[in-house]
Amino acid sequence: MDDCIFCMIARGEIPTHAVYEDDRIFAFKDLHPQAPVHVLLVPKVHYTGLNSDVPEELLGALLAAAPRVAALMGVADSGYRVIINTGPDAGQTVPHLHVHLIGGAPMSEGMVKLA
């Protein structure tokens, strides 16, 4: 999708602090972090959310990338949270499937609100 901000970031059209990249996934630091470590993992192909007939292989690739990103960010051993918001009532503000990886501090259930 040409005007999707996450598509533009994944294509390199908008500069960001890249953390990880492979042939299907691009991960970068969130501009408004909700924890000391807050990285967004986005598929390079546009899907609005989990309800968009996302191929299982892509979902698997997103989740498989999470521990790699956690290791790169230094939170693999201490722990991290992986969150996918789907739709406006869940707080999804960017209509592009993405995974939040947060960590770097002890968390409680209500610690963070993620878009």
Residues 38, 96, 98, 100: which is the catalytic one? 98
98 is catalytic: yes
CA-CA distances (angstroms) from residue 55 to 31, 49, 73? 28, 12, 27
The residues near 100 (Cβ < 8 Å, ≥ 6 apart) are 30, 34, 38, 39, 40, 81, 82, 83, 84, 85, 114
CA 103 to chain centre: 13
What's the rounded Cα separation, in Å, for the pair 5 and 8? 5
> Known catalytic residues?
98
